[in-house]
Structure 1
Amino acid sequence: MSEAVWSKLKALKTPSLTQLFEADPARLDIFATRFDLGDEESSSGILFDWSKTHLDAAHVAAFGELAQGMGFDARRAALFAGDIVNTTEGRAAEHMAQRGVGKDESVMLAAENHHRMAAIVEAIHRGAMGEVKHLIHIGIGGSALGPALAIDALARDGAMVDVHVVSNIDGCALEQAFAACDPATTMVAVASKTFTTIETMTNAESALTWLRESGVADPYGRVVALTAAPAKAVEWGVDETRILPFSESVGGRYSLWSSIGFPIAMALGWPDFAEFLDGAAAMDMHFRDTDGLANLPLRAAFGDQLYTRLRGCQTRGVFAYDERLALLPDYLQQLEMESNGKSVKVDGSPVDGPTAPITWGGVGTDAQHAVFQLLHQGTNLVPVDFIASIAPGDDLDPAHHRILLSNCFAQGAALMAGKASDDAARAYPGDRPSATILLDDVTPATFGALLAFHEHRTFCNAVLMGINPFDQFGVELGKEIAKQIEQGDVQFDPSTQALLALAGIA
């Protein structure tokens, strides 16, 4: 059935963006939707505007038919029920349970783990573990990207604890954190699902050495372990009272809602972390309870598939017009490319078309003076997401934020409208798509909802393509070869052997 629907979609005409607005005066009402959080007295929210994409009634109807044929309702229900949806690894994907939405037993377990985490966070903030001014959070991938993004977005006005997130095995990254911290008032969080990740554990050992050599009598007493393998943490030397577990069914890139979010709670305080979870839960319930075009993540996925599958777009740009969201493109790179960068379907058969585009981006207005030349006049069609906040994150002259938002909105308008010129070098073709996500403000609740939206958008794209977004075997091969190099028991191609010899490794 999906092949027939794709054939139908490919046969549809695609009017220009200008034509779509001219043909439908109500287009903005249909494709721009406000998502509200909170009660009437303290409501905040997010506007999701997909009106400057080439989605129209015919495409939406056909994509709806595709979703039905691909079993969207059943796969969504299985996700929320805690059924095995990661079929290659035989696991559920229960990151939503961390936000209080999902299978009852999983929600209860997550609540217990959060209660344990809250107790430790609040005890540290009260001084029960001595003076703690700094936290070095050691992880990699999802164990680092999410916390780094959340802390950068939400703790700029003054963190309760100064947090340094270290992921790179390059010793320069760890040394930079050491230089910024007083070992006498520093704790270390070691975040590893298996507690065997070589980059994380190597960095953790070096952090212990730094504490020990700096005169800390009990370095292990300064460590908090964030893991789905508590026994491994105990074996490594962490006291069980300072181990914060999370479920095996929570994947790395979906884990900042679990105990991996410990550094976020340390920086913000528990009430703000709880608000962050609540914002995500509100988006979970919208995604669970809303059907068709009104379902915001599904609508976004319809647009993604239109450009990737029907228009041949190999990339998608994400531009945050807010310094607080500067790390969002990096976070979405992992979420989308690690989840949907696959070439086989759930049943093991080859995918019969492109899957995830390359996610990339930057921060406005810097990006305008770097990469927007290609977006406006290049030969590549690149759909763009603009993300901004109505409220500024600074206390300077309002002109700063006014100019920032003016540039954001102008770019979307210019990409759509273009500009004719007798001079070809000064002509802009226009009809280039963009979506705008406009937050009332970057608060814990709106930020949580924003990240949950992207998680569900990623899931919707996977369903429409028939793939499993929850495994990531593609990251393993290079790690296996690196281990072989460390063991020195394998021969490689001449180029690799020469590089190893030049670096003094072989």
Structure 2
Amino acid sequence: MSDPISAAWDRLAAIRPSALADLFEADPARVEKLSRRLEFGLGELGDVGMLFDWSKTHLTDDALSAFEDLAAACDFAERREALFTGGIVNPTEGRAANHGAMRGSGPEAEVEEAAALLARMGMLVGAIHEGALGEVRHLIHIGIGGSALGPAMAVDALTRDGARVDVHVVSNIDGLALEQAFAACDPASTLIAVASKTFTTIETMTNAASALKWLDENGVADPYGRVVALTANPDRAVEWGVDETRVLPFPESVGGRYSLWSSIGFPVALACGMEDFRALLAGAKAIDDHFRAAEGRENVPLLAAFADQYYARLRGCQTRAVFAYDERLALLPDYLQQLEMESNGKRVTVEGKPVAGPTAPVTWGGVGTDAQHAVFQLLHQGTHLVPVDFIASIAPGDMLDPAHHRALLMNCLAQGAALMAGSGNEDPARAYPGDRPSAMILVDDIDAATLGALIAFHEHRTFANAVLMRINPFDQFGVELGKAIAKRIGAGEGEFDPSTRALMQAAGLG
């Protein structure tokens, strides 16, 4: 007799796919069944309205029932509760994942600690805005991975109408990235934020040293006095030279790609103000509350994971595309790449056994309408089946003629309709096969609270996928091997393959 997990997958594999058009014809209530509208009133921090539509996917009632059984067999409810109560959800490192506590979702002690850390950051942000550190017009935020992607995305999304402080996020060790930031900033009115969990990350600390040198060479009397440290290792930051009053700690149990809600969000607060940062947290907490309370297919992140697993596991889709039809979300696909691929790009289960099927697909995407003239050819007529997420805002982000935003939304909705419907033609080169899946996330507006909710939705979607695959989404050992070999190359230690030896010599590293 098969175990419950295998039995659920067997049920899913036995469901014969139907064309999307046939699914709509067979069920007049399909849109209602596979759409969810979430609304949250957050008081002075704003309101959040979001519509999710998976009706243009191949999910059916039978598939949803089997997925609900799969979730139960994978102990979804228990793992979800462990996430919110400080349980060990990162077994390979023996850790909880307390990023939810940063926004008020978690054990009381962790939530209280997070509130104190938030208040500490708020005091520093307020002091800077009031001129305690002199004139501050620019911030160079130095980090890498989640310490850079989250802040860059949020600042870009929320400062299109202007920022209280001009923020430049630098992550690449390539000196050109840092030089570009230097060129845009006046050293006399620039702060440096160094974001590193351990305060030992080579790329970050190398860039930080160069930033200090730039300040010194340009007449700043006390370069270290212009540095704010964002870290889970405050002692190391103080040892490096940052005064403890400008060290903003966060807990060790907050992972990099889940760290925007902690002091890693300092550049967001500095650029937008603490009120917007608190709204970001409140929007995320609203999704936390929904994710923790809603069951089965009524749970929006879990429903999204059902669709993800359907296409990755049952239809063999190796990629998932995300297209934001809003310039304010231009960096969201890049952010989701790390969130999803670093979290769920694994090959073993939490028990250390090989995963029975494919895990995370390759996440990629872009911005509409630009992407329509770049990659949509493959989506419509290529040989790959690629599930697509469209994300758009009902309210425009500009003050121009409403015709701009109307055309943007028209194109967004048209792409989903065209992918599904297709079009026949006597000329095969002009024929569209159709029956290609897409999902829609339509938000009322892009503001701080809605952005927080949108990010938290994807965090929980990623976690739900991990539970269904029986993997640990909170470690990332796959990034370590290349770093270790880079250190060996730098130290001239160890033996390398003939190709690497030849390349080292050609690059002047041999």
Q: Report how far residue 303 of structure 1 moved.
A: 0.2
Name the CA distance, whole Å, in 2 between partners of 1:89 and 1:43.
38
Q: How do residues 9-48 of structure 1 correspond to structure 2 at under 5 angstroms?
A: 9-38=12-41, 43-48=47-52
Q: Which residue of 2 aligns with 1:251?
A: 255
Give the secondary structure class of the aligned counterpart of 2:366. Answer: strand
Name the CA distance, whole Å, in 2 between partners of 1:14 and 1:492.
49
Offset from partner CA, 1:269-312 (integer Å, 9 cap, x none): 00010001000000000000100111000000000000000000
Offset from partner CA, 1:355-377 (integer Å, 9 cap, x none): 00000001101110011011001
Number of residues of Structure 1 aligned to a counterpart in Structure 2: 506
Q: Which residue of 2 aligns with 1:340?
A: 344
Give the secondary structure class of the aligned counterpart of 2:264. Answer: helix
Q: How do residues 301-320 of structure 1 correspond to structure 2 at under 5 angstroms?
A: 301-320=305-324
Note if contact 1:84-1:91 (Cα within 8 Å) is conserved in structure 2: yes
Q: 1:412 to 1:160 in 2, by over 3 A?
A: same
Offset from partner CA, 1:416-453 (integer Å, 9 cap, x none): 00011111111111110000001110010111000000
Tell me the amino acid that sits aligned with residue 2 of structure 1: I
Q: Indicate yes or no: 2:6 matched with 1:3.
A: yes
Q: Indicate yes or no: 2:205 matched with 1:181.
A: no
Percent identity of paired positions between Structure 1 and Structure 2: 71
Name the CA distance, whole Å, in 1 between partners of 2:441 and 2:5.
30
Q: Indicate yes or no: 2:94 matched with 1:80.
A: no
Q: Indicate yes or no: 2:488 matched with 1:499.
A: no
Q: Report how far residue 491 of structure 1 moved.
A: 2.3
Name the CA distance, whole Å, in 2 between partners of 1:185 and 1:488.
41
Q: Pick from 28, 36, 54 the counterpart of residue 58 of structure 2.
A: 54
Q: Which residue of 2 aligns with 1:168?
A: 172
Name the CA distance, whole Å, in 1 between partners of 2:231 and 2:29.
50
Q: Pick from 61, 64, 68 the counterpart of residue 72 of structure 2.
A: 68
Offset from partner CA, 1:442-492 (integer Å, 9 cap, x none): 010111000000000000000000000000000000000001111111221
Offset from partner CA, 1:89-108 (integer Å, 9 cap, x none): 01000110000011111101
Offset from partner CA, 1:323-357 (integer Å, 9 cap, x none): 11010000000000000000000000000100000
TM-score (norm 2): 0.98
Q: Which moved more, 1:89-98 or 1:44-53?
A: 44-53
Q: 1:40 to 1:493 in 2, by over 3 A?
A: closer
Name the CA distance, whole Å, in 2 between partners of 1:480 and 1:182.
36
Tell me the amino acid that sits aligned with residue 361 of structure 2: P
Tell me the amino acid that sits aligned with residue 373 of structure 1: Q
Name the CA distance, whole Å, in 1 between partners of 2:428 and 2:304.
34
Q: Report how far residue 39 of structure 1 moved.
A: 6.1
Q: Pick from 398, 401, 425 the counterpart of residue 402 of structure 2.
A: 398
Q: Indicate yes or no: 2:333 matched with 1:329.
A: yes
Say what the alpha-carbon RMSD is for the aligned residues: 1.0
TM-score (norm 1): 0.99
Name the CA distance, whole Å, in 2 between partners of 1:265 and 1:40.
19
Note if contact 1:37-1:445 (Cα within 8 Å) is conserved in structure 2: no
Name the CA distance, whole Å, in 2 between partners of 1:143 and 1:458.
18
Name the CA distance, whole Å, in 2 between partners of 1:97 and 1:503.
46
Give the secondary structure class of the aligned counterpart of 2:389. Answer: strand
Give the secondary structure class of the aligned counterpart of 2:164. Answer: coil
Name the CA distance, whole Å, in 1 between partners of 2:125 and 2:118.
10
Q: Which residue of 1 aligns with 2:292?
A: 288
Offset from partner CA, 1:68-93 (integer Å, 9 cap, x none): 00000100011100111100001000
Q: Indicate yes or no: 2:229 matched with 1:211.
A: no
Give the secondary structure class of the aligned counterpart of 2:358. Answer: coil
Q: Report how far residue 503 of structure 1 moved.
A: 1.0
Give the secondary structure class of the aligned counterpart of 1:119. Answer: helix
Structure 2 gaps of 5+ residues are none
Q: 1:40 to 1:121 in 2, by over 3 A?
A: closer
Offset from partner CA, 1:121-159 (integer Å, 9 cap, x none): 011001111110000000000000000000000111000
Q: Which residue of 2 aligns with 1:129?
A: 133
Q: Which residue of 2 aligns with 1:98?
A: 102
Q: Which residue of 1 aligns with 2:412?
A: 408
Q: 1:44 to 1:86 in 2, by over 3 A?
A: closer
Offset from partner CA, 1:389-434 (integer Å, 9 cap, x none): 0111111111111111100000000000001111111111111000
Q: Report how far residue 44 of structure 1 moved.
A: 3.6
Give the secondary structure class of the aligned counterpart of 2:312. Answer: helix
Note if contact 2:125-2:270 (Cα within 8 Å) is conserved in structure 1: yes
Give the secondary structure class of the aligned counterpart of 2:141. Answer: strand
Name the CA distance, whole Å, in 1 between partners of 2:32 and 2:371.
30
Name the CA distance, whole Å, in 2 between partners of 1:372 and 1:211.
46
Name the CA distance, whole Å, in 2 between partners of 1:276 and 1:111.
14
Note if contact 1:84-1:90 (Cα within 8 Å) is conserved in structure 2: yes
Q: Report how far residue 40 of structure 1 moved.
A: 9.4
Name the CA distance, whole Å, in 2 between partners of 1:175 and 1:113.
32
Structure 1 gaps of 5+ residues are none
Q: Which moved more, 1:421-430 or 1:164-173?
A: 421-430
Name the CA distance, whole Å, in 2 between partners of 1:399 and 1:495.
56
Q: Which residue of 2 aligns with 1:141?
A: 145
Tell me the amino acid that sits aligned with residue 5 of structure 1: A
Name the CA distance, whole Å, in 1 between partners of 2:15 and 2:31.
22
Name the CA distance, whole Å, in 2 between partners of 1:310 and 1:44.
34
Q: Which moved more, 1:296-305 or 1:483-492?
A: 483-492
Give the secondary structure class of the aligned counterpart of 1:318. Answer: strand
Tell me the amino acid that sits aligned with residue 439 of structure 1: V
Name the CA distance, whole Å, in 1 between partners of 2:405 and 2:214.
42
Offset from partner CA, 1:238-276 (integer Å, 9 cap, x none): 011100000000000000000000000000000010001
Q: Which residue of 1 aligns with 2:235?
A: 231
Name the CA distance, whole Å, in 1 between partners of 2:485 and 2:236.
24
Q: Indicate yes or no: 2:367 matched with 1:363.
A: yes
Q: Which residue of 2 aligns with 1:353?
A: 357
Name the CA distance, whole Å, in 2 between partners of 1:28 and 1:95.
34
